Amino acid sequence: MPSGLVVIAYHLAYFIPAFGGELPAWRLVNSYFIYYLRFIPVFYAGLWLFQNLRSGDSLVRVLSLTMLGLVTVMHLASTFVYWLLDKWYGLGNLSEAFKKLGSLYLKEPSMRSWQDWLVFGYDLQELQLLLFPVGLKMLQYGLSEGQKKAAIERQQIETELRLLKSQLEPHFIYNVLLSAYASVVPVSGRAAGYLNRLAGLLRYTLYETSSGFVPLKKELASLRNYLKLETLRYGRRLNIKWEQSGPVAGAGYIPTLVLISLAENAVKHSADAHTGPSQIHIKLEATEQELHFTITNNKPARAVKRPRQGLGLPTIERRLAMLYEGVYPYQFEIRQNQLSYGVVLRIPILVSI
């Protein structure tokens, strides 16, 4: 606290007129106000630097770069203030401290001696007044990030527990499907094919999606498998149009089940929501770096059935944000009108995970 008062008193000394001269009160007040006004943009510039540099860097590097940026911004702000005061009042009409410092800040770089460049030390000294507010903001950020991290870890633990509790039933169903398939093959090839596809889809969700990412070609194969099952279930009432372009076989990785979840949502709100004809249009464009996936379903004139409950689009959107926000550019957009409902997805294809 005493050191803080000393610093403030030290700064106030610059506004005391030189002995033997007079400085009008209004000029003193205006100079004082403009001088300290520069701390506002410097403060917010420091916060912006800290918040935008923190991702993926060590704390020491972030703090060092933030301090370097603060000194630079402080120097520019001080130069602007002295330039402004010189234009308005003339440095010669201000206190001796303003004259000396102003002449250093406004001196042409080519005319400066090496001692003149020590003015950056004054910029560093000026930042003392910002140590408390900036430190407080950093402390608030640290506490907030700690709470977010704890919440994410808690959510992950809860998810793992739910998955653990649900393992028995899916594995049991999978084994039963295999047994049923073996029994049905001699009786009905169509029924056996249906069971085989269902077992394949269940195998994919159980054994190939644990890492969070999956090869694009596997996700697409399972998506086609799922759509075939829904086509068998609804018959001619469900019409699916599939357009695909770009390389798939050698493509990289995308989040598991994201395409199947979008397809499940489209079926839920079309064929599953009414008894009339349903259309689903899927357009897929793949490059070596990016997947562009659009799925659109028609809207029923009047829904006669309540759609079955699922995870829904908000869960997919939150998951994509956790995976890509601030790291990779991506797009998740809902487009709808009176006749149709669609989702536009644009995500990076990762080479490795």
Q: What is the pLDDT of residues 288-331, one digit of tens each?
A: 889 999 999 998 776 555 554 445 788 888 888 888 888 899 99
Three-state DSSP class for residue 320 = helix
Q: Which domains does the chain have, with CATH numbers?
A: 2-146 (no CATH), 227-353 (3.30.565.10)
CA–CA dist 57, 61 (Å, integer):
6
Contact of 117 with 71, CB cutoff 8 Å: no
Q: Which helix (H) or strand (E) holds 273?
A: none
Cross-strand bridge partners of residue 234: none
Strands 253-255 and 290-298: unpaired
From the number of C-beta atoms within 10 Å of its C-beta (0-12, 13-18, 19+), residue 184 rates as middle
Residue 283 has pLDDT above 80, yes or no: yes
Helices marked H in 13-130 — which ranges?
A: 25-37, 39-53, 59-88, 96-106, 119-126
Query: Which of 271, 299, 266, 308 lies closest to 283 in space, CA to CA?
Result: 266
pTM equals: 0.52
What's the N-to-C CA distance of the chain in angstroms? 51
Q: What is the pLDDT of residues 39-98, one digit of tens each?
A: 778 777 777 777 776 655 566 777 777 777 788 888 888 888 888 888 888 777 776 767
Please give the single-letter amino acid code of residue 2.
P
Tell me what percent of the residues of the chain surpass a pLDDT of 90: 16
Residue 19 has pLDDT above 50, yes or no: no
pLDDT recorded at residue 161: 47
CA–CA dist 38, 58 (Å, integer):
29
